[in-house]
Structure 1
């Protein structure tokens, strides 16, 4: 069994309130969940209206499949015109990791 995680640090574009922020972040999280069957959520910076942290996790029996899903998720978020991807932290853990 392999697990993979991504943590996205995002700068939001023309957003002036937390309500506007939700209207940008929620569709991204929903699309990640729907298209890639990952667990995803906003995991940080909830009190700042121009920044967001989104985390996601995937579990599979094959490390290559985990890496492929993480690659596709990263490309999807990076391609969103309403956000600027500041950084991505990626981790893959295998069953033999301590």
Structure 2
């Protein structure tokens, strides 16, 4: 079994409150969950208005499939016009590690 994770550091567009931040982050998290069948959550910068950290993880039998899914997720986040992708960190682990 292979476990892959990715964490995005995002700069949000015209956001001036935590309520406005939620209106950007929640749809992003929901889309990633639905489209890629991942575990996804806002994982950091919870008290900042214009920054967000979003993490996602996937489990599969093949490490190539995990990499492909994480690549597709990164492309989907980078394509969102309301966020700027500052960085993406990822990891890949086997259950035998």
Name the TM tier (shorter chain): over 0.9
Equivalent in the alignment of 1:86: 86
Equivalent in the alignment of 1:12: 12
Equivalent in the alignment of 1:95: 95
Number of equivalenced pairs: 97
CA distance in 2, matches of 1:23, 1:30: 11
- Root-mean-square deviation (CA, aligned residues, Å) is 0.6
- Any unmatched runs of 5+ in structure 2? none
Q: Aligned runs of 1:10-49 on 2, under 5 Å?
A: 10-49=10-49
Question: 4+ runs of 1 displaced by more than 6 Å?
Answer: none
Other structure's SS at 2:59 match:
strand
CA distance in 1, matches of 2:68, 2:31: 17
The structural deviation recorded for 1:94 is: 1.4
Q: Aligned runs of 1:63-82 on 2, under 5 Å?
A: 63-82=63-82
TM-score (norm 1): 0.97
